Amino acid sequence: MTTWTWWNYVQIVTEGASFYAIGRTVGRSPSTIMRWRHSTPKPATVRAFAQAYGVSVIDAMVAAGHLDADDTDPAVLREQRDEIARAYTELLAKVRALGGAS
């Protein structure tokens, strides 16, 4: 299995554009883009990159490591939503039983 880094993702999306060209497109300095080879930018910068290049913000966040692929799986999200709804319903029933809510 191939392990992708943020910089690999950037190179694929930008088709190997220069630091200057990427910076101009994203609105960041070339030196900032150069640092991306060894570090991941903050989520706001990842979002700016994705929007500037017309790619999925979610895919970019996953590539940058800010989200796990499971965080975006609809089945996982539905399961989490259902768990939260069950917990809320149980808590509300307990509060009502204590006479604290109507």
Q: What is the CATH number of the domain that holds 52?
A: 1.10.260
- The Cα 52–Cα 35 span in angstroms is 18
| Whether residue 52 is found in the same domain as residue 87 | no
| Whether residue 42 is found in the same domain as residue 89 | no
- The Cα 79–Cα 8 span in angstroms is 32
Domains in the chain, number:
2
| Whether residue 87 is found in the same domain as residue 59 | no
Domain range enclosing 96? 69-102
- Classified as helix, coil or strand, 18 is coil
| Whether residue 39 is found in the same domain as residue 76 | no
Q: pTM for the whole thing? A: 0.67
Q: How confident is the model at residue 1 (pLDDT cuts 50, 70, 90)?
A: very low
Q: How many CB atoms lie within 10 A of CB 74?
A: 7
| Whether residue 63 is found in the same domain as residue 17 | yes
Note the pLDDT tens digit of each residue in 19-45: 999 999 999 999 999 999 999 999 999
> Six-digit token pair at 27?
């609105």
